[in-house]
Amino acid sequence: MTKQQANWSPYDNNGGSCVAIAGADYCVVAADTRMSTGYNILTRDYSKLCKLADKCVMASSGFQADVKALQKHLAARHLIYQHQHNKQMSCPAMAQLLSNTLYYKRFFPYYSFNVLGGLDNEGKGCVFTYDAVGSYEKVGYSSLGSGSTLIMPFLDNQLKSPSPLLLPAQDAVTPLVEAEAVDLVKTVFASASERDIYTGDKLEIVVINADGIHREYMDLRKD
Amino acid sequence: MKLDTSGLESAEPVWATFNELADGFSAAPSFELPNTTDFDGFQKEAIQMVKPAKGTTTLAFIFKEGVMVAADSRASMGGYISSQSVKKIIEINPYMLGTMAGGAADCQFWHRNLGIKCRLHELANKRRISVTGASKLLANILYSYRGMGLSVGTMIAGWDETGPGLYYVDSEGGRLKGMRFSVGSGSPYAYGVLDSTGMICQLKKLQSWQEEL
């Protein structure tokens, strides 16, 4: 007698791509706004970006219901932190919190691929990239989601920074200026939309710098 | 089924008793389990989606001056290289290192947890924990999660009062003391080099050095 398999899965993949780039005094986080299921588009106007703290923005692709639950959980924890410590959480602190939050669902994972971008305590850009169960790494740039295999090699070519494992420790942040980094992100998404069916519609770009958070949009292919 | 979450508990949750804000976020959150009859099948499917980083070579050996630990830095998911700069050598505390092979998140989380436990031991006993003790703590935690799908193949290397220490600990619950180990998909090749003539000489030197001690 063969074992009965489940004919319902609690997970779905809503597609989409996310990118984050860290600069010397800024951080760019971007994601497309298409939400799909299977070969259908659910909406062309869904934001995958979430402001977790003053200088900290998270972009997530994967299963958006799990992403929404994760964002709520983190927002609640941040509020408690603010009440207890009378200050905003720094980006590295939020990075560790996100890692632990993801790992506590190790046996029933959040199907959410996250990239966290922001400024650290010194005002330097930092990007943290995660897998679905919480392993994370501080990097100079990262791309996740359905278009990541198309985007990442291009970012490697343009932004390749010395390995953080080398000694003496070298900066992983890109020497590019803010405007150049935003331009690079637009180029990269335009290219990804050409060949990835799950990426397109509109691009949402958030830039975090000393002045605060600045948001802009760009149109992408709608097919 | 009741999961053993003692691995996550630290000392008495000091503030939980009078801090109502933290309700639902207490000091020792337990692992949520999926509501399914087929836990193994679910884990198999879930792991397909998570695709743990694979393809690792780590090695460590004891030599005259201490312990040498080495690891590569590539993480691959199937044919795609997800990262070229993974830190597979994790600092548990300033005198103990752990290596990462298997599931990246599993290794990172449990090494950090081990670091917490080691620090608590220091505070409670006014002396550093031995490498033997630390590896035993980790091995016991991993044993209690045996069969749940954790994937950890690690070496705990450090220096304590008895000198250099090296243990191999895995998620099956195995714990071995030794002079040299290699873990990961590249370990057979590393063993080929470690075990060949160079190391035979080292072993002889080590034996005489140990007799001196």
Which of A191, A184, A185, A190 is closest to A219 using CA atoms?
A: A190
pLDDT tens-digit map of A106-118: 999 999 999 999 9
pLDDT of residue B14: 43
Task: Please tell me if residue B45 touches chain A, with a CB cutoff of 8 Å.
Answer: yes
Domain membership flag for residue B148: yes
B50 C-beta neighbours (distance < 10 Å), count? 20
What domain count does chain B have? 1
Task: Please tell me if residue B14 touches chain A, with a CB cutoff of 8 Å.
Answer: no
Catalytic residue among B17, B36, B37, B56: B56
- Do the beta carbons of residue B186 and residue B56 sit within 8 Å? yes
Domain membership flag for residue B24: no
What residues 136-175 of chain B have any CB closer than 8 A to a CB of chain A? 148-150
- Nearest chain A alpha carbon to B29: A104
ipTM higher than the 0.85 cut: yes
Residue B84: pLDDT band (50, 70, 90) is confident
CB-CB under 8 Å, A108 with B34 = yes
- Any idea which of A54-68, A159-173, B71-85, B187-201 has the lowest mean pLDDT? A159-173
| Chain-centre distance for alpha carbon B53 | 16
Question: For the residues B66-78, what does the mean pLDDT come to?
Answer: 89
CB-CB under 8 Å, B43 with A107 = yes
Domain membership flag for residue A12: no
- Give the residue, B93 or A73, on which the prediction is more confident: A73
pLDDT of residue B12: 44
Q: For position A30, which CATH number holds?
A: 3.60.20.10
Does residue B26 carry a pLDDT above 50? no
Full domain range(s) for residue B105: 58-211
Residue to test with chain B: of A2, A106, A128, A129, most B Cβ within 10 A: A106
Domain membership flag for residue B204: yes
- Any idea which of A48-62, A68-82, B58-72, B193-207 has the lowest mean pLDDT? B193-207
Give how far B130 is from chain A: nearest CA, Å. 27
pLDDT tens-digit map of B157-174: 999 999 999 999 999 989
What domain count does chain A have? 1
Domain membership flag for residue A9: no
Question: For the residues A155-174, what does the mean pLDDT come to?
Answer: 77
What residues 185-214 of chain A have any CB closer than 8 A to a CB of chain B? none
SS3 B139: helix
Active site residue B57: no
pLDDT of residue B16: 40
Domain membership flag for residue A124: yes
Burial class (CB in 10 A: 0-12, 13-18, 19+), B18: exposed
What span, in angstroms and rounded, lies between the C-alpha atoms of B1 and A20? 40
Full domain range(s) for residue A54: 17-219
Does residue B113 carry a pLDDT above 90? yes
Element (H, E) at B90: strand B89-93
CB-CB under 8 Å, A131 with B50 = yes
Q: For position B141, which CATH number holds?
A: 3.60.20.10
